[in-house]
Each structure stands twice: as structure tokens, then as C-alpha cells.
Structure 1
């Protein structure tokens, strides 16, 4: 499949030289420094629709010191390194566009410190959110950032992930307190602390959060964690149109209801999860909501939301108060992307997420739907609509270039609409390969040039995940 025209031109590949490969295999052995084609292909693909040649080798690191060794070798030989966590990227972050080493940190799975009394935890980068929550649940604690996939926490920090709970608990930007990072030269630095605030120097933690692996390799993360709420209740409600569901969401937020989750699934998404998870839900636009707090608080929130939904034609309110019932609903929501792919066997998905001020959300979604229906492409919509963020996936046949071109045109129109409405080209997927042109439109040439200068100051040899976010 050819890349869309707005992607940067491919740069010359920088292969791993024999001397570097020999040094890596001497340190890690051939099992943990592999040149096997199947493994390289696995690490040379993510969930984006782009096809790029795989990296030259894959190294499995198990400690910060091992990451530092790899980076020192890469710096000495001028070879690219692409950090790899769970492989769930959607925008081409993991692709070895200039060759080099895929540095897999998924074996760095130690939970290093749990400070329950301070509501903080420190973990290695390969720990996943589900692993962390299973570890701290018995202490009455949880980590709320939930992007859907069981992503690694290092990867979530690198992409500034958010997800279904962001409307109440914020994103990774608000919940990362400090990091251990290996620089492009192989130096280990630490940013931030477990203190809740600081005025000490530049905020390097926020610089690395969202840097998409282009400035250094995150190996440890210190995070805020939260007490498990006393009461949790989830509900689904169906609407006559997407607009009615979105207007309900806007009203909920503007009235200050402290809802924890508010997710939109359009009729296509509901149909897909019905087929995948055998749910039997009504195939209409649906809001999936969750309320956290005291028993009385949750009941009051739910009553208010139900009244608002009725005003916009919401009906068939169905409650899930047991953990099993809630898990079943949220598992189906998290399966929406894969479920949609299965409705068109052999397809690829061009997916775009934008985020706009909540008051402009209905306009953004409605116009995007009108455009894709006029174009005739199959599509699906899911959205963290409580914070103005939604995802539109275009299902295309990879053997039909015209479908890819149509999807890219619709994606560009959707992004440009979001920017016109004072929004952003990506609420949580990141820039990666796909949205570099959109970043310039959003931030301006001056701001992107400042990003380039920061990149070159920290990584003068351009070996950290080169070709992502912007071209040099």
C-alpha cells in the first residue's frame, strides 16, 4: 500500500553495522538480540495502515542499564532506535522508517514501589495498566487512565495517552509525577519526584511525556494512583441520533455532573460489538456511562443524567451495578476497534481522532458523518465524548487505492474542521508518521521549528525514533 501524499519522504535507512550487532549479541545473546525475520516483522508493524520495511534487529531489554548499553552502542554507530512497548500504536510510531533497532521494553515488568499512603507508585516501563491495577486493587487503589488496549505504562507516557476515564481523572500528562529516561547518548537521568508539585527548573517530565520516543527511552514511571470509589455504577442509553447522544453529553458536562466515563458508540460500532461479543444490544447510537463516588452521590448523578437523556430522546436505560456486568460492557467497548475490522474481512483501518471544545462537539461529529456517508465508505465512530474527543475509523480495502485516497481526504477534512473549531488534530493517538502535516497546520511553522531545535539539542545524531512527529 502506498503512503498518502502528505507523509514525509522516506529517508535513507541506517542499518545496524556488523560491529554493533556483534556487541549487542555478546551482551544479550541471540535470543534477546534477534535478527529473525518473523520477529522483526512483528516489531515493524503497529495498528496503523502503513507498510514499512522492518527493523534490522530486535533487542529485549530487562533493565535501565541494558537500555543504556543499547543507546550507547547506537550513539557510537549513529543507528536509529525505536522504543517498543505493547505495539498498539495507531499512527505509525513504531515503524522503522530508517531501519535500526527495535528496543523492546515489554520484559521490564517490575512494580518497583507502591506508596499507598501518598497515593503514588513507581513502575518499570513495560508494566501494563491491567498488571498495575491487579497488583494494587487489594490495597483499595487503582490507576484510572484507560486507553482501551492493555498498553504499557511507558508507552502510555510516551504518547500522552488518555482514554475512557479522562473526563474525571485527566490524562497521562496530569498523572505522571516523574520519569527515569535513557538519553540518546546512553546517560540515565531522572525527572520530577513523588511530590505533588515543584517549581524546580524546567519541567522535563512534561517534555518527555508525549515525545513519542523521539527524545529518549522511558524506563521507569512514577504515577498518581487513586482510592477505589465506594460505589460504581454503569449505564447504557440509546438515542434516536448521534446528535441527540452528543447533545446529552454536552448538557451533562455543562451542568457539572462529575461523571467518570461517557463513551459514544454509533450504530455501526454497536452492531460490530454485538457480533464480536454476543451482546444483543439495540443497534442505535449509544452512550455508555459510569459513575463513581458514594452510594448517595452515584444515585444522584445517575438520576440527573437520566433526566437529561430523556430530554433528548434517550431511552432503554439499562444499569450494570455488578462488577461482572460492568466488565462485560467495558470489554465490549474496548473491543470496538477489532470488532469493526472483522465486519469487513481483509480490510485495513484509517483511523483519525480529534478533540474539540465540548460546545463544538456536535458540529464536528455531525459534519464528519455527513461527509463519510456521502463518500460511501464503511465507517464506525467511538468517542470519549465527555472531554470532546472522538475517533472515526474508515474501513478500506488495501487493494483499492481509491478507497485509501478517499479515507485520507475525509481524515484531512475532519482534522481541518477540528482546527477551525479551536480543537486539535489528535486528542490521544499522537502525531507519529500520519499527522505531521496536520501538526504544522495546528501549531504553526514557528512552534514546530522550536520542536525541531529541541530535538536536535537532545538528539543531534537523530537516532531516537527518527522520522516521527516532524521531519528534520
Structure 2
């Protein structure tokens, strides 16, 4: 049995009644696409976060269209019952948990690519389409969608959490790459925000309001995304360093010189060992930068040579190229599987994951002190970072039945985030707030800003049915 989190970290669980009349109405409308089976409910009542003791939702509705989502929300609204959107379940901060009970709306069957507009570099998809499926659908047009969180997440979930990933240093996050949305509101009304035009000055920017709202303002049912031409040339390279500081100083120099590097990932030596064991690789077990360059053959070569010269100044060595698609895929797959490699390294463990992001000039200060604390704690951990934009991730590996290890991991998390905030950074670069970082949001944004968010929430969702208990308390 999993040991619960310390009391000050537990979510406030106030289960609202889900009347039998609502379940009956959902079953009448959706038939066998409304499930109350315990196994299905439990699957939709957990994610990859530290929270393990929250009861599952009372029912799961498998939506196949916007009309399905709207009808489910209308029925829930009549009974003031919470609604929690569900994509693929890869959340790390408790976004999917039914802390106030309610129903889960699974949009994974809404997985159609609705239109590809190659001339305008846009694609419109349903929310259950995953990022890999988007790229499969557009690659024949010579295009790609660059946002790539480690998991093959759903586009709806990525928009809801304002996700990013390894390409963010060049291509930005979901905030910069979502042009328009279709959203079902708390009243079951279907609205559209934004257009396929590249810019607009028309009214409030409701698209940006919904991107990052974590399901607390509505259920996303359609997303229009920016696409980019596949680069003429792509080259990946690895470079090993004598220390984390040397790798970070190299990264800072690369960014401050304005080199348009597409990816710049840091993996510490301990994580390299885990990745080698998991992915059957033989990478040098030293701190490594894994980089990628996009452009013309000449520009890619120039970028790479400039970065190699900078790395040499900081003791970088074993600069190795991965120029074939197969070699690049092997390296990036190993990087994206770092989480699974870490968990496999300690059988039965659970990862308490966290991320922060700081201004690039403060990256060394934040990262090095955090590494020193983690080393001193004695807890095994993994460390990866999208260091090109100042974002990095720790995963502390704990025995889920050991309360002391849980407390220690959460204390490390608290110190890490406090340090990032003191350096004018953020409590989360891409995971989102969910349950886990609610207190940190208040410290970062201030009571006045959180109260403004709360005012917006209450205006749009007066009965507090949209994923309640997330981001901030009602």
C-alpha cells in the first residue's frame, strides 16, 4: 500500500455527490460508452504524479465528437457535478485526479486530423490526436510539428498544460504554436477562439487564456496548430563534459551568441548510466549535451562548428555526429525514455518529478546548487534539461511505501522551486500547476494575480465543475 504524501502536501478532497440520475442519463445518452466499471474508473483516476490516494471518478464517458462532449458537460452541469478531461494520462502534476469526484470525459477516440493546410502551414486536429500522429499526417507535405514533450501526449492535453519539450529553444511552446481552438464551456456551449490567420487584434485573446488553463475553464475539442517546413538538413551531435557546470556554461554561451540551435539537452552522468542500461547504448558516462541543428547544409555545418569551438573552451570532448535519421532517432528516443530508464533502474520505485525554468543567465546558479542538494540527500535521481531555454527536470526515485523518502523528495522539490523563484524563474516550465504546485503558484504570481485568475474562473465556471481543485483553491 502506498504511503500517502505528508499532510501539508495532500490535496483537499471534498467529494461531491454524483446522483444516480446523472449516471442514468449518461448511460441513456452514451450507452456502453459510459462506463462505471472500477477498472476503467481507476485508470482514469490516476496519472504519473505523486498523488496515489485520491478516489477515482464515478463514471467515464468516451466521447467521439464535440457534440458528445457538449452533451456530457450539459448533463453534468445540470447536477453541478465536476468534469475532468482525459487524453492519454501522462500528466505529472495531478491534473487528472478527481479530488472533488465527478465524471471523466475521455477524448482519446476524438483522434482525427481534420484538415492539413500546407500552403498556410497549419493543421487542425481533434484533441485526442497525439503529437506523433500529427507528424505522421503532415510529413508527406514536407512539414512537421515541433513541440515534443517526452510522452506521446495528446494535442488537447498539450494545449491544456501549455506543453513544450526539446525543440522549444527554437520553435517555442504550445503558447506560440496554437492558433485557434474549439472549446466546450462549463455550460455545454461550443465556442471558437482564434482563426487560422497568423495574427489578430480582435478582442480578448481567448486562445491564450485556454492554453494552459489545465481543463479548469473548458474542454478543448479542436486545435489548430502552426506547422513548419522540414529542414533541408538536420544534424545531431553529442558532446561530453568534465562537469555539469562546464556543460551549462557552454549552453549559456551558445544562446547568448544567438546561434539558432534547434535542441540543446543536458543529461547528467548518472542518467546516462540509466539510459545506457535501458536503451542498450554505450554513451560515455559523463555529463552530456545532446544537440540538434536545423537549416541548410552550409548553415548546419557552420552552427555545429561554432558550438564545437565553444564546447572546446569549456573542456568538451568526444564531439560525435549523428547525421543519419536512424542514428538521430536512436539518440532522441533514448533521451525521451530517460524517465522510464530511471524508474527501471530501481525496481518498484516511483519518481517524484519536478521542473523549473529560469533566465538563461541564472541557469548555472540554480542547477548546480540543486544538484549539490540532491547529491547530499542520498536519494537516487535523474536529471535532464532543455537547458537551451533554461528549463530542467529532476526526478527523485523513492520507495512509495517509505514516508521518509517521500518527505525528503518533496523537501528537495520545495528547495529547488524556491531557488528558481528567487532567481526570477518559474515554478514550472512545462509540467503545469495541477495539484502539486498550487502553493508555488501563489508565491510566484502573488495573491493579487491568483485572485484575478480566480475571478476569471468564477465568471466562466460559476458552479466550479471544470476540473475543480486544480491550479488554485476555489
TM-score by length of 1: 0.99
**Corresponding residue number in structure 1 for 2:462:** 460
Alignment check: 8 A CA contact 1:46 1:95 kept: yes
2:99 to 97, 100, 115: 97
Q: CA deviation at 1:3?
A: 2.6
Alignment check: 8 A CA contact 1:384 1:390 kept: yes
1:358 maps onto 2:360 in alignment: yes
**Corresponding residue number in structure 2 for 1:44:** 45
**Corresponding residue number in structure 2 for 1:294:** 296
Alignment check: 8 A CA contact 1:6 1:437 kept: no
Alignment check: 8 A CA contact 1:80 1:465 kept: yes
Alignment check: 8 A CA contact 2:5 2:403 kept: no
**Corresponding residue number in structure 2 for 1:205:** 207
Q: Distance in 2 between matches of 1:6 and 1:418?
A: 21
**Corresponding residue number in structure 1 for 2:434:** 432
1:111 maps onto 2:113 in alignment: yes
**Corresponding residue number in structure 1 for 2:238:** 236
Q: CA deviation at 1:18?
A: 1.1
**Corresponding residue number in structure 1 for 2:371:** 369
Q: Distance in 2 between matches of 1:203 and 1:64?
A: 22
Q: Distance in 1 between matches of 2:391 and 2:262?
A: 15
TM-score by length of 2: 0.98
**Corresponding residue number in structure 2 for 1:248:** 250
1:156 maps onto 2:158 in alignment: yes
Gaps of 5+ in 1: none
1:384 to 383, 386, 397: 386
- Structure 2 counterparts to residues 254-273 of structure 1, below 5 A: 254-273=256-275
Q: Distance in 2 between matches of 1:8 and 1:42?
A: 20
**Corresponding residue number in structure 1 for 2:398:** 396
Alignment check: 8 A CA contact 1:15 1:56 kept: no
Query: How many residues are matched?
Result: 471
Q: CA deviation at 1:2?
A: 1.8
Q: Distance in 2 between matches of 1:336 and 1:137?
A: 26
Alignment check: 8 A CA contact 1:8 1:471 kept: no
Alignment check: 8 A CA contact 1:158 1:208 kept: yes
Alignment check: 8 A CA contact 1:238 1:317 kept: yes
Alignment check: 8 A CA contact 2:265 2:290 kept: yes
* Root-mean-square deviation over aligned CA pairs: 0.9
Q: CA deviation at 1:188?
A: 0.2
**Corresponding residue number in structure 2 for 1:196:** 198
- Deviation track 1:302-341 (CA, whole Å, cap 9, x = no partner) reads 0001111111111111111111110000000000001101
Alignment check: 8 A CA contact 1:7 1:436 kept: no
Q: CA deviation at 1:405?
A: 0.6
Alignment check: 8 A CA contact 2:5 2:406 kept: no
Alignment check: 8 A CA contact 1:7 1:437 kept: no
Deviating above 3 A after TM superposition, structure 1's stretches of 4 or more consecutive aligned residues are 4-9
- Deviation track 1:181-218 (CA, whole Å, cap 9, x = no partner) reads 00011000000000111111100000000000000000
Q: Distance in 2 between matches of 1:306 and 1:4?
A: 46
- Structure 2 counterparts to residues 51-70 of structure 1, below 5 A: 51=52, 52-70=54-72
Q: Distance in 1 between matches of 2:297 and 2:317?
A: 24
- Deviation track 1:75-110 (CA, whole Å, cap 9, x = no partner) reads 001111110001100000001111111110011011
Alignment check: 8 A CA contact 1:235 1:288 kept: yes
Q: Distance in 2 between matches of 1:11 and 1:455?
A: 19
Gaps of 5+ in 2: none
Q: CA deviation at 1:6?
A: 3.9
SS at 1:66 equivalent: helix
Q: Distance in 1 between matches of 2:381 and 2:56?
A: 29
Q: CA deviation at 1:5?
A: 3.9
SS at 1:83 equivalent: strand
SS at 1:290 equivalent: strand
Q: CA deviation at 1:376?
A: 0.9
Q: Distance in 2 between matches of 1:330 and 1:400?
A: 33
**Corresponding residue number in structure 1 for 2:333:** 331
SS at 1:62 equivalent: coil
